[in-house]
Structure formats: C-alpha cells, structure tokens
Amino acid sequence: MLPYRAVYEVLPGLLKLYKEVVRLPKNVTLEEIAEDPKRYPFFADCIGALDGTYLPISIKGGYTKQAPWRGRKGGLTQNVLMAVDFQMNFMYVLAGWEGTAHDSRVINSAKVKGFEALPGKYYVADAGYSNTPMTLTPYRGVRYHLREQAQVNMRP
C-alpha cells in the first residue's frame, strides 16, 4: 500500500514544480525539425504534438456516478490531453475529464483554460482532433508515408 501521507506531503511541492517545468513553447522553429530535410521547411511552424490518453481513475459512489468515467476501453478512466515537444517533454497537460468525454471537448476546455499556440504555429495531432489553426491533423482514410503513396501512384 502506498503511504498516502507521503502523497500529501510531496503534492504541493510537485504542483509548484509543474508550473516551472511544464510550459508552453517559445516562438521558434524546433531544432529537431530545422535539421531534418524531411520535415523542414514543411513543418517549420510545428511546435509540438498532442494526443489524448486514458489514465485509470477510481470513482466511489456506485454505478450512476461511475458511468461517465467508464471509457471505451473498459474500466474507469479519465481522458487526459497531453502536448509534448520533440525532446519528449510535456508542454501542456489537462487531466480530469471523464473517460467518456470526446477529445474535441477536452481540447476546447483546454483552450478556455489557456492552452494556446502563437499565431501561425500549430501542434500535430491525430484524426480525433479537428484540423484547426492550432492543430494540424492527417487526412482521414489516406495512406501515409509518401513511399506508400508512390507505390499506388496516388497524390497525397
């Protein structure tokens, strides 16, 4: 069993640390992109990648209270939005949405809470998100990796 007292002892400090180390990016083209001819200049304005994931959560109070948290992969989960840079650091996190919440709802809530990209900059995201000025998403139902496309003689 985890010593809960210890959780409460370290939590305030770690939440302060969070404010110091989980930060939105600056307005620069990332080295990882600038130095890769496959990515530059196409993704010069990409400042990171984001995705939603499910983390387990424990909800007391019976079935009615638990229902919104019962995600599509089974079990009680929260839908957590996470944005990262290309050194694999978290830049933004929004936790605490019910497992049944749609990704679009979670990101809209994040935007209200201050998740942003500087004008013209964007995060790359999967097709669970809208293609918007802040989130560049792949075409749906299209083959990826240009070599595959060349094989079937198809333009992206």
Partner 1 sequence: MALRNIVERTIGVFKHRFRFFEAGRRNLPLRTQIEVVYALTAVYNFINMYNPDDLDSFQEGENEDIDEDIDEEDARLAEEGSDVGMNQRRDEIARLMWESYC
Contact positions vs partner 1 (CB under 8 A): 1-2, 4, 7-8, 10-11, 14-15, 17-18, 20-22, 33, 39, 41-43, 46, 48-51, 53, 55-59, 72, 78, 80, 82-84, 86-90, 93, 95-96, 102-104, 122, 124-133, 136-140, 144-146, 150, 155-156
Compare residues 8 and 63 and give the one whose CB is closer to partner 1.
8
The Cα–Cα gap between 51 and 66 comes to 24
**Closer Cβ to partner 1, 33 or 110, answer by number:** 33
Q: Between residues 27 and 150, which has the closer beta carbon with respect to partner 1? A: 150
Q: Report the nearest approach of partner 1 to the CB of residue 148 (Å).
A: 12
Q: Find the Cα–Cα–Cα–Cα dihedral 79, 85, 89, 93, rounded to 10°.
A: -30
Please state the closest distance from residue 152 (CB atom) to partner 1, in A: 14
Task: Give me the phi and psi of 22, to 5 degrees please.
Answer: -105, 95
Closest Cα partner for 134 from 107, 98, 99, 103? 107
Query: Would you give the distance in Å from CA 22 to the centre of its chain?
Result: 13
- Comparing CB distances to partner 1, the nearer of 27 and 126 is 126
Coil, strand, or helix at residue 107?
helix
CA dist., res. 91 & res. 138, Å (int): 21
